[in-house]
């Protein structure tokens, strides 16, 4: 158990809909990362938050947004969903976001868009 909790584990929704994925980082970790894992794109970094503020952006679509709350949990919002958004979405956390510290991953949310 990594200590990172993601909910829900599975989500099935229709095209055009909006969903929210939730992540609770390990206790004390200030930095949260979101990644998307799909068969054609592999593991892609989406966005990072550090202590409530956006720190870095990766290949995140404009239809997607995220935030980190004062209690440090984070939510990833996906809107106007398309079939191609079907993927496994991972959240990861680490204490300080530094280069040499590893990230701890949750078990992921599997999103299926039908």
Which residues of the shown chain bind another protein in the complex (CB under 8 A)?
2, 4, 31, 33, 35, 42-43, 45, 48, 55-56, 58, 90, 92, 97-100, 102-108
d(CA 87, CA 39): 8
Residues 6+ apart with CB under 8 A from 15: 81, 82, 83, 113, 114
Q: How far is the CB of 15 from another protein (least distance, A)?
A: 26
CB of 69 to another protein, least distance (A): 20
DSSP structure class, residue 12: E
CB of 16 to another protein, least distance (A): 29
């Amino acid at each position: 158990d990594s200590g990172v909790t993601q909910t829900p584990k599975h989500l099935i929704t229709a095209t055009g809909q909006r969903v929210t994925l939730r992540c609770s980082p390990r206790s004390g970790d200030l930095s949260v990362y979101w990644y998307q894992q799909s068969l054609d794109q592999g593991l892609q970094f989406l966005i990072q938050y550090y202590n409530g503020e956006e720190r870095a952006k990766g290949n995140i679509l404009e239809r997607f947004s995220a935030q980190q709350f004062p209690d440090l949990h984070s939510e990833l919002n996906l809107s106007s969903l398309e079939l191609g958004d079907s993927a496994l979405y991972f959240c990861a956390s680490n204490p300080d976001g530094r280069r040499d510290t590893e990230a701890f991953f949750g078990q992921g949310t599997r999103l299926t868009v039908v």
